[in-house]
Structure formats: structure tokens, C-alpha cells
Amino acid sequence: MGKEDYSQAFVYENMVRIAHNCSRGMKNGADLSFMQNAMTMERGETFAKHLGTFAKQFEKVKTYTCKALNKLSKTKPYSLNSDFFISLENEAKNVNDTSSLMEIVNQAMEKINELKK
């Protein structure tokens, strides 16, 4: 797994942690390993057969992402832009690969950083 995967997965973890106001861990999918696993599985590079298929792992990450986006839409100060986060959530439900999902995560993080100022 490369530095690029780690960097992207870290952005995913941060978004989930901010949304749920939680520390790193398995709860709410607040661990970069979920996205990292999906990315490596998508390329067919997995050695962790216990995780199941790429489709199964990707659906898990997608669900965690959608829940985080929904949570952001209801939490201040992010709820001021609830339509933005709801629209990203709806978009995320329809993606089929990790790069598309990461584009959504990156958009969410840009908005989060903008609203934190």
C-alpha cells in the first residue's frame, strides 16, 4: 500500500471523526483501515480474505461515509450547509469506486475546513 492510499484514507478517517465527534476506532468506521482495505481490494491486492469481497468492503465504507455526511448535515456549524452535505450523501450512494467516493470525501472536508474558520 502506497503513501497515496494512506493519505486519502486519512482524509476519510478525519471526516468521519469530525462528523461523529469521536476518536479513532472501529465505531462509526472512524479508522482509515476501512478505506485502505477497500482501495487495495479494488486493485486486487488484498491478503485479508476474512474481509470478504471488494463489493462488501466498499459497501461498508460507503455506508460509513453516507452516515457521516448525514450527521454533518445535522450538526452545527456544518448544518448551516445541510443541503450541501445531503447532496454529497445522495451522490455517495450512487458511486461504484473508491476514487469517486474519495472525491466526495474531499469535497466534504473542504467545506468542513471552510466552515471551521
- Cβ-proximal residues to 15 (8 Å cutoff; 6+ apart), any chain: 65, 68, 105, 108, 109, 112
One-letter amino acid identity for 85?
Answer: F
Q: What angle do CA 69, 12, 89 make, to 5 degrees?
A: 25
Q: Taking the model in full, what pTM does it have?
A: 0.91
Render pLDDT for 88-100 as a digit per residue (tens, 0 to 9): 999 999 999 999 9
Any residues with CB less than 8 A from the CB of 9 and at least 6 apart, and which? 32, 33, 34, 35, 36, 39
Model confidence pLDDT, tens digit, residues 13-71:
999 999 999 999 888 999 999 999 899 889 887 666 666 788 888 999 999 999 999 99
